[in-house]
Amino acid sequence: MSFSSDTKKELYEKIPAGRHCRIAELLAVYRFEAGRGRYIAVADENAEDPGESRKLSYIEERHMEHIRVLTEKLEKKLEGVIPEYDRTVVYRDCCKRAFLRGAFLAAGSVTDPAKSYHLEIVCGVEEDADLVTELMSFYGLKSGVTVRNGRFVVYIKEGDAISDLLGLLDAPKAMMTMENARIIKEMRNNINRQVNCETANLTKVVNAAVKQEAAIKYIMDNGLFGNMPENLRIIAELRMENTDMSLAELGELLDPPVGKSGVNHRLRRIMEFAEKNGFS
């Protein structure tokens, strides 16, 4: 199964405790399924696969008339016939999360975090997209909206925001999978950055050493070696004898030892001397 399917399976197994939350979730399921021109079968408590639709038997009798009207509209199977809802169903904080959960169950998907970060909810009309983005914004989640095949798609592309939303939807297993994937990906990125940085530094050091050796060879070949001060001649000889050593290691060979900056200063003076005498 995909990560998206596993996430929905986890959510299917949890029925909201509060009656108001159940109504909010169910209305979202109806609204968003109808918005995609789809028909919803109503399952009872004994349904073999309650994941195909949410159970209605936990709704008290006084609410069944409202659900019956919505169901009749859906049974017409008419494209564009979308059940209406009252925004008071998302007045409570818990109902906001229940509505988002229903919307995700009906029309949402989330990409495997090991591959990329992308969660979306497909909305039949712009009003639904506005409500979803409003609810996400209420929890500090940044989302975007795009139009695809005539549908309004609310999407999130940031890993931390997707993880937070999965937590709000009450999918802790999916959230932990998301967090573990993010940690692994962050560690890999840090290692790659470190390797790239070290590689760049090593390349820079090697290029500098090659140029220094060429300058020293030019000085020697043109009989200019004796014209340099003694301290420069010594470091020049050490550089030619130990081409693979770092500046710090070269400094340890001097008597008395000289630090990395001191060695670099002397090599820079050798380069200047060579350039003044025609080296390029």
Give the pLDDT confidence of 17-32 residue by residue, as tens digits. 777 787 788 778 777 7
Task: Return the exposure string of 18-41: e unless at least 16 CB atoms fall within 10 Å of the residue's CB, then b.
Answer: eebbbbbbbbbbbbbbbbeeeebe
Residue 185, in any domain of the structure: no
3-state SS, residue 123: strand
Is-contact 21 94, C-beta < 8 A? yes
Same domain, yes or no: 231 and 122: no
Structure tokens at 30: 């109806």
Please state the pTM of the whole predicted model: 0.59
What average pLDDT does range 6-26 have in this prediction? 81
Same domain, yes or no: 110 and 19: yes
Q: Residue 45 — very low, low, confident or very high, per pLDDT cuts 50/70/90?
A: very low
Same domain, yes or no: 238 and 134: no
Q: Which of 88-97, 120-129, 162-171, 217-226 has the lowest mean pLDDT?
A: 88-97
The structural domain count of the chain equals: 2
Same domain, yes or no: 136 and 219: no
What's the pLDDT score for residue 68?
Answer: 52
Same domain, yes or no: 32 and 131: yes
Q: Residue 66 — very low, low, confident or very high, per pLDDT cuts 50/70/90?
A: very low
Same domain, yes or no: 62 and 154: yes
What average pLDDT does range 228-251 have in this prediction? 86
Is-contact 242 253, C-beta < 8 A? yes
What's the pLDDT score for residue 72?
Answer: 52
Q: Residue 86 — very low, low, confident or very high, per pLDDT cuts 50/70/90?
A: low
- Domain with 110, as residue range(s), is 3-170
What CA–CA distance (Å, rounded) separates 270 from 211? 11
Q: Residue 136 — very low, low, confident or very high, per pLDDT cuts 50/70/90?
A: very high
Can you point out the beta strands (E) in the chain? 108-110, 119-123, 144-148, 151-156
Same domain, yes or no: 17 and 71: yes
